[in-house]
């Protein structure tokens, strides 16, 4: 499967968001990962729809919006309106019924739906959703902050999911040149990376390392 790289804007310098977006766009990023946190589902607060709206104007890349918030069903419309191209919700925050309604809404607007699960949440909890989502985002850190260490338990989850799911598998948290190779081997094909990309001296080689580093 072709490998795509999604820089996580959480690790960017927010005082110059527009040029940070251009920097990763020019360095070959495939999409922009946007971490939305509410201080309830995770112990941190980040950005909301108003920022997504202006990011939409500042890049031509798809915006992959990762909702780490309670009651995402209530906020999906606002993130759709702001210009999201993909929206991921956490299985820990929705009922199946809510997810079906979100899936229907996003489909009618041509927006992709992802389901995510925390490191402590077993794969079986998302099995029922695999038929209605476009992709799965496997968390390889406890959500809340950039710059944490990769949790190796994610590897088995990716491997097992790949056996039963042939669409995109995203992996998010602690991705660098070493862990990238491991998760690609396990079957992930979209790599989210924040600190590794935005902390790099050479953004282009950082992205290339993640994408092409030998597998
Ligand atoms: C964690 C976020 C991640 C994070 C990744 O809660 O969902 O997207 O920004 O950052 P790194 O790559 O630094 O682990
Ligand atoms: Zn994320």
**Active-site residue, 168 included:** no
Nearest CA residue ID for atom 1, ligand 1: 143
pLDDT tens, 163-172?
A: 999 999 999 9
Tell me yes or no: is domain 4-212 CATH 3.40.50.2000: no
Q: Return the ligand number nearest the Cα of 195.
A: 1
If you average pLDDT over every residue of the chain, what do you get? Answer: 97
pLDDT of 59-117, one tens digit each?
999 999 999 999 999 999 999 999 999 999 999 999 999 999 999 999 999 999 999 99
The pLDDT tens digits for 149-199 are 999 999 999 999 999 999 999 999 999 999 999 999 999 999 999 999 999
DSSP summary character for residue 83: T
Asked whether the predicted pLDDT for residue 1 surpasses 90, the reply is no
Query: What's the whole-model pTM score?
Result: 0.98
Ligand 1 surroundings by CB, under 6 angstroms: 8, 10-11, 33, 35, 66, 141, 143-148, 172-175, 192-196
Q: What distance in angstroms lies between residue 196's CA and the mean position of ligand 1's atoms?
A: 10
The active-site residue out of 30, 35, 64, 168 is 35
Mutate to test the pocket of ligand 1, among 10, 29, 40, 88 (most ligand atoms within 8 A of CB): 10
Burial of 64 per CB tally in 10 Å (0-12, 13-18, 19+): buried
Q: What is the pLDDT of residues 107-153, one digit of tens each?
A: 999 999 999 999 999 999 999 999 999 999 999 999 999 999 999 99
Provide DSSP, 144-198.
Answer: T-SSPPP-THHHHHHHHHHHH--SEEEEESS--HHHHHHHHHHT--EEEESHHHH
Phi and psi for 67 in degrees, rounded to 5?
-85, 105
Contacts of 52 (CB under 8 A, 6+ apart): 34, 36, 63, 65, 79, 82, 83, 84
């Amino acid at each position: 499967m072709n490998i795509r790289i999604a820089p996580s804007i959480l690790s960017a310098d927010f005082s110059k968001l527009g040029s940070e977006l251009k920097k990763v766009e020019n360095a070959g990023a495939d999409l922009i990962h946007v971490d939305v946190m509410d201080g309830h589902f995770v112990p941190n607060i980040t950005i909301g729809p108003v920022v997504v709206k202006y990011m939409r104007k500042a890049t031509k890349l798809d915006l992959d919006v990762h909702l780490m918030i309670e009651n995402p069903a209530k906020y999906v419309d606002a993130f759709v309106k702001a210009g999201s191209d993909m929206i991921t919700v956490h299985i820990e925050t929705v009922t199946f019924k809510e997810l079906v309604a979100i899936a229907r809404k996003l489909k009618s607007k041509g927006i992709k739906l992802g389901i995510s699960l925390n490191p402590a949440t077993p794969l079986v909890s998302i099995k029922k959703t695999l038929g209605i989502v476009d992709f799965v985002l496997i968390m390889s850190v406890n959500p809340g902050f950039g710059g944490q260490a990769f949790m190796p338990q994610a590897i088995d989850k990716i491997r097992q999911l790949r056996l039963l799911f042939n669409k995109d598998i995203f992996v998010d948290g602690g991705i660098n040149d070493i862990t990238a190779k491991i998760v690609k081997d396990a079957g992930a094909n979209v790599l989210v990376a924040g600190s590794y990309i935005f902390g790099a001296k050479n953004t282009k080689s950082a992205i290339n390392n993640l994408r092409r580093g030998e597998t």
